[in-house]
Structure 1
Amino acid sequence: MAIDFHHEQNRFSYTNREVDSSWLEEMNTILEAYAPQHVVDLGCGGGIYSRVLAERGVSNVTGVDSSKTMIQTAEEEASSSKAVTYQVGSATEMNLSSNAADMVFARALIHHLKDLAPAFEEGNRVLKRDGLYLIQTRTPEDCFLPGSAEHLRGYFFHCYPHLKEIETRRRHPVKGIHSALQGAGFQIEKTWHLWETRAEHETKQQFLDDIRLRKGRSLLHELSDQQLEILVAYLDRSIQGEKRIVEKDRWTLILAKKQYKSLTQR
């Protein structure tokens, strides 16, 4: 069963994750190039990235999430900065005024959406002229890289091929994302890849214990406790040695610009 982010016990699943330095470098480049003043952190969860965007100089950050529980968590974790506000909303109904934002940032969000078109149309509505829609997601091409010391998640699919079917159903390929963006009135500016360090473990045993917790790994909620133990044993055999483990994920980033004509004008 997939993780339920509306449930109280899962509210801190992603809250304590630290922002990766490679992500900061990429975001700094984008913020310097486009200087957005109002950024919507769509699917903000516990507000990690909302707070960092404000720290990086964005004067107005609106964190939007469909879960009241996660918004409550974000507000509890918020600093004293007045640059960040949070509200309940969704990818298809952000509850923001039209032409309000310079950028919509959607990290680890679109794989939760079956149909991308309504979300991107809402993004078009909320964004100002020449506004940017920045997507950070893992595509099937990212997820199914072979298991290795760099890409440990690949071992999940070696052990349980049926997880690949689940992942395929919930991941959008790059071509489909591009098509949906263009259909909603966006021009694709850039598509590229980014490797992020998601966690560092001093020993292999520490990594295996972390896997058992399923923390920050929604896909592992598809496994029973017994299946999870089999995966842990498989990882133990597959990973050589007892040295420090750096766990990484490859992401795809897509930057799209709102075209001059809005959806209502076409």
Structure 2
Amino acid sequence: MKTILKNSILVLAILSFNFAYSWGTTGHRVIAEIAQNHLSGKAKRHLKKLIGDEKLAYWANWPDFIKADTTGVWKQTEQWHYINVDPQMNIQSFTQSLKAQKAPNIYTQIKILSDQIKDKNTSVKDKEIALRFLIHLMGDAAQPLHVGRAEDLGGNKIKLKFFGENTNLHSLWDTKLVDSQKYSYTEFASVLDVKSKEEVKQIQAGTLEDWLYDSHKQANRIYSNSVADASYSYDYNYKFEPLLERQLLYGGLRLAKILNEVL
């Protein structure tokens, strides 16, 4: 059964090749690899019961791969990857806006998935599925445009060029900016994961609401410095590479914090 599942995932990955997804395969694996480095002994033991010796990076893109499924089984999960929020000036108004949205979204689902994994009555199989989604959605939460604006669908409607190629703002941040760094996911994780224990603790501090607000603020910065129909190349990379690296690192460390709490 496990072999069949892995083969199915491979097929879905191939079918999904031309789709634009959150962070792309590299970005999500960077975040998962960093998280792997910061798991507690207890979390590692529980993970072994759920996924054996497989690494978090193996499952990091599964919730995107299943978007290629044609049966409709996973259709309802497509909303889980983002939340659209109008620009908010402070954490209080942002949190109110988060909680006012009742439809399933990245905020509601991270909380639900975390509770499912913690619940002793959840079956092992359901915990495993919840884990796959949690790994991925915590990565999505660190991609600023997944906490972007409804008017442009998180930057999807903002067309521009990057190194002469037609794209949009969302796709630029999902894949093209990450891939332009020319690292494998293990190399990228290695060069980013160099913070001291005290710095890691500071990055992991706060709540899910705080972390989503952090991404929302970065999204506002990106919007302010990205012009529709513009043509970008090295200039954009120079301006935003530090933020890109920050978000990947923060995503990994905060994923580790969540996993250490729920496992």
Higher relative contact order (CA 8 A, sep 6+): 2
With the length of structure 1 as denominator, give the TM-score of the two structures: 0.32
The structure whose residues are more often helix, as a share, is 2
Between structure 1 and structure 2, the one with the greater Rg is 1
With the length of structure 2 as denominator, give the TM-score of the two structures: 0.32
The structure whose residues are more often strand, as a share, is 1
